[in-house]
Structure 1
Amino acid sequence: MRSTSRTETFPAHTPAASQIFTTVLSHGPLTRLEAARRAGLSAAAVTKAVRPLLADGYLVEAADEGARPALGRPASLVRVDGGRALFIGVKVTGGELIGVLTDLCCRIRLARRVPLTDRATRAVLASTAELAHELLVEAEDFGAPVLGLGVAVSGEVDRAEGAVRYSPFLDWRDVPLAELAATTTGLPVTVENDVRALTVAEQWFGAGAGLSDFAVVTVGAGIGCGLVVNGRVVAGAHGVAGEIGHVTVDPAGPPCHCGNRGCVEAIAGEAAIVSRIREATGIPVADATEAVRLAHQGVAGVREVYARAGEAIGRGIATVANLLGPERVIISGEGLAAYDLFAEQIRDAFTAAAFGSAARCDVQTRPLPFEEWARGAAATAIQSFISSDHPHLSR
């Protein structure tokens, strides 16, 4: 197999270069003056940062014919050349791998799904390598090198070390995933918590673009939260910032797999909802899809379970709003299939528990398929490539 992957470094590993590049990536094409204004840098700093990026083809420049001044030449616009490089993103779930091939602008060029029948580390690595190699082969048609792989995993992830400290859905503890994946794929690897990876994509291209403070709350198998504070995705000192799934909202509530009781996830996670509906109805509900169907059929006791879940989620979101005061909270995740069943309770509980002006936070829903989560994984690989934080390299 002729691989299109190769080791290549970003031509300007400085904070200014990274900042200008991400600014143009998210908001471009931009004039240099506008890029300086958005990035909070001087015109001279922008010129210095842009020069090597133009020389190596990561940025391209063209005249802005729509803004011709009265005298002289039109202003120049700078944009990212998406075709300059490619990246792979993989989202790991309990049952499948979702892989995407993106360009440098993080636009999805190809998407593939692979069933995951074995959650053991070795099996997941083998499947990830197979998926990556398949995308590498197909990347040859695009004529650009693949410069990195991002892997998004649920749970506690130490991105700096490239390690999954604890993933309850995979039953992993202290897995050096970046190092292992780099060995099996031959690519520089970035490993990130799946919700934080999705948050990076939302910050650059989605409902969080242009906002300095917002949160992404995901509902589904687990309840997750990605935080952006002062324009930066926050992981915290131990990589667990934003774990609202394990905020206690009912001290007398059901036990959670984390060891506490009454966590948001223990009430509103899909497994918790299914379990509670079985108890309430005596029906051997198979999964969340069947639970939603029973609720829509009006089976007694089912909607009450969803109402309680919505109240727990609303309280969890209010906790985020009270602590950080985000401008917006974006609700996403596979659990949105049931959103109509608990939307009112989420809003009511949030309004009741949010303190003062925190209640003015804009709460939105944004259904996103898992391909967008994989895109987020690719975005973290791009982020590592253009920043001074070097990802784990293949050996």
Structure 2
Amino acid sequence: MTTSVTTSTTLRAGDDRREANASAVLRTVLDHGPIARSRVAALTGLSASAVSRQTVDLVRLGVLYERPELAVGGTGTLGRPQLPLDLDPERLAVAGLHIGLPFTTVALLDLRGRVLRRKEFPHRGRTGPELLKALPARLPRLIDTLRGHRTVVGLGAVTGGSVDPENGLVLRHEPLEWRDVPLCALLADATGLPVRVDNHARALTLAEILFGHPAARRSMAQLFVGHVVDAALAVAGTVHVGPPSAIGGLGHLPVSGTVTDPDADSRERCHCGRRGCLSVAASDTTLFAAAAAEGVTTEPSREQLIAAVRRGDPTANRLVRNRARLLGRALALLADVVNPDLLVLTEHFTSLDPAHLDVVRAEFALHSHLDRDAGLLIAQRHGPDVLAVAAGAPVLGELYARPVQALAAPRAGHHP
């Protein structure tokens, strides 16, 4: 939910047509830049004068700049070379906050969704009201430390569970013990920035649409597996927000198998009261606990399990492969129901080693009833930056959809 603003630019925030034109120009530069104005006009269907008007304002707002060193030919006014347009890499940035169970990630992203800087701080067991006090207290200084000389145009905040982006609320996050938390208002008061909140699976889906695989703009499904298990859907470049702002119940999908035995039924009870839910059978919480129980790690620990996998510990690899099999089964069912152009899995170990993604794909192919190539299933490609990318995506999505409104809002810091 973004603070209402006014603007003195030649584009008015309420002028939908011109806002749409500005968005079309900006998205074209994102996809094809550096690019000449004449090419922008050809790709968008806008007139040369319309492209020129939008360019003037977008340059003034700091999102575009001209690249004279790349100028070629004499196709501009009076035969002068056109100066290609590109996204300005130096002036603006967005801040992002991903709130997980073990730690929070704070990051700064450029306009192409690339992580410039990020910092993680552990929760040390804090949940509920205690964590809600700690986040706003630490955030302003962290953003100021990260931003350097850049102007921060907004803050994205994402987490798991049920999130209402329209009203800026975390409706339910069971592991964090949050219910109806006005996260947007809390963070806006703390930072003075426009804030947009969302579920992290939806945010990653938006990032894929903006910066990722071309098929994502047709249709895609996203499965996020961490301490919570979430999913998101998008069609024709629009991320679905179901009533009441819930992504869907894929985390409560009944699956056969556990990380210790993929052929045995899970006896672990989910917080919903049922047994065998995907969110219990395949979550990080379950995986890390199993690793500790089998002596792979001294305690339930992501870092220790990663180290064990990297050194080739056979038990660690068996547990991770078993989870990969469970995820392949769940994704097969998701694909059978939705039939998307693209499936994206965000899960740490498939990003760490492509061999684990091969296990997911093999199980997917075994269980899916569609005649689909398992190559439609890809792993999230942002590696260790994945949570930071998710955090910044809600603000970047708003910027590319309504650039004048987004860039006319109050900002943190000043560029030189």
Q: How does the TM-score come out when normalised to structure 1?
A: 0.79
Alignment partner of 1:333 out of 334, 343, 347: 347
Alignment partner of 1:24 out of 20, 26, 29: 29
Query: Against the structure 1 CA distance between its residues 183 and 356, is the aligned structure 2 distance closer, same or farther, given a 3 Å change threshold?
Result: same
Distance 2:8 2:213 in 1: 28
Letter of the 1:56 counterpart: L
Q: Which position in structure 2 is the counterpart of 1:60? A: 65
Q: Which position in structure 2 is the counterpart of 1:261? A: 275
Letter of the 1:314 counterpart: G
Query: Against the structure 1 CA distance between its residues 136 and 344, is the aligned structure 2 distance closer, same or farther, given a 3 Å change threshold?
Result: closer
Q: Which position in structure 1 is the counterpart of 2:338? A: 324
The share of aligned pairs that are identical, in percent, is: 26
Within a 5 Å distance, the mapping from 1:1-395 to structure 2 comes to 12=11, 13=13, 14-36=19-41, 38-39=43-44, 46-62=51-67, 64-66=70-72, 72-117=79-124, 118-136=126-144, 139=147, 141-142=148-149, 144-207=150-213, 211-241=217-247, 243-250=249-256, 253-254=266-267, 255-275=269-289, 286-287=299-300, 289=302, 293=308, 296-299=312-315, 306-336=320-350, 343-359=357-373, 361-366=375-380, 368-385=382-399, 387-388=401-402
Q: Give the match's secondary structure for 1:30.
A: coil
Cα deviation, 1:274-325, whole Å, max 9, x if unaligned, reads 455677x5989622545563894334xx766545432321122223323333
Q: Which position in structure 1 is the counterpart of 2:262? A: none
Distance 2:361 2:26 in 1: 38
Distance 1:384 1:312 in 2: 35
Query: Against the structure 1 CA distance between its residues 115 and 359, is the aligned structure 2 distance closer, same or farther, given a 3 Å change threshold?
Result: same
Cα deviation, 1:148-193, whole Å, max 9, x if unaligned, reads 1111111111111111011122111110100111112222111111
1:97 Cα deviation after fit = 1.9
Q: How does the TM-score come out when normalised to structure 2?
A: 0.76
Higher mean displacement: 263-272 or 379-388: 379-388
User: 1:213–1:231: 8 Å Cα contact kept in structure 2?
Assistant: yes
Distance 2:398 2:75 in 1: 38
1:69 Cα deviation after fit = 6.0
Query: Against the structure 1 CA distance between its residues 69 and 338, is the aligned structure 2 distance closer, same or farther, given a 3 Å change threshold?
Result: closer
In structure 2, runs of 5+ residues without a counterpart are: 14-18, 258-264, 412-416
Cα deviation, 1:231-281, whole Å, max 9, x if unaligned, reads 2223333333365333223496443233343222222112223455677x5
Query: Against the structure 1 CA distance between its residues 10 and 108, is the aligned structure 2 distance closer, same or farther, given a 3 Å change threshold?
Result: farther
Q: Give the match's secondary structure for 2:201.
A: helix
Higher mean displacement: 311-320 or 268-277: 268-277
Distance 1:245 1:307 in 2: 19
Letter of the 1:136 counterpart: D
User: 1:318–1:354: 8 Å Cα contact kept in structure 2?
Assistant: yes
Distance 1:161 1:50 in 2: 32
Letter of the 1:374 counterpart: A
Letter of the 2:106 counterpart: G
Query: Against the structure 1 CA distance between its residues 110 and 44, is the aligned structure 2 distance closer, same or farther, given a 3 Å change threshold?
Result: same
Distance 2:297 2:66 in 1: 62
User: 2:168–2:183: 8 Å Cα contact kept in structure 1?
Assistant: yes
Distance 2:350 2:158 in 1: 20
Distance 1:259 1:34 in 2: 57
Query: Against the structure 1 CA distance between its residues 367 and 17, is the aligned structure 2 distance closer, same or farther, given a 3 Å change threshold?
Result: closer
Distance 1:111 1:291 in 2: 23
Distance 2:175 2:146 in 1: 31
Q: Which position in structure 1 is the counterpart of 2:260? A: none
RMSD across aligned positions (CA): 3.8
Higher mean displacement: 210-219 or 373-382: 210-219
Higher mean displacement: 347-356 or 156-165: 347-356
Letter of the 1:61 counterpart: E
Query: Against the structure 1 CA distance between its residues 26 and 210, is the aligned structure 2 distance closer, same or farther, given a 3 Å change threshold?
Result: farther
User: 1:90–1:152: 8 Å Cα contact kept in structure 2?
Assistant: yes
1:115 Cα deviation after fit = 2.4
Distance 2:86 2:410 in 1: 28
Higher mean displacement: 328-337 or 38-47: 38-47
Query: Against the structure 1 CA distance between its residues 306 and 372, is the aligned structure 2 distance closer, same or farther, given a 3 Å change threshold?
Result: closer
In structure 1, runs of 5+ residues without a counterpart are: 1-6
Distance 2:46 2:237 in 1: 15
Letter of the 1:258 counterpart: C
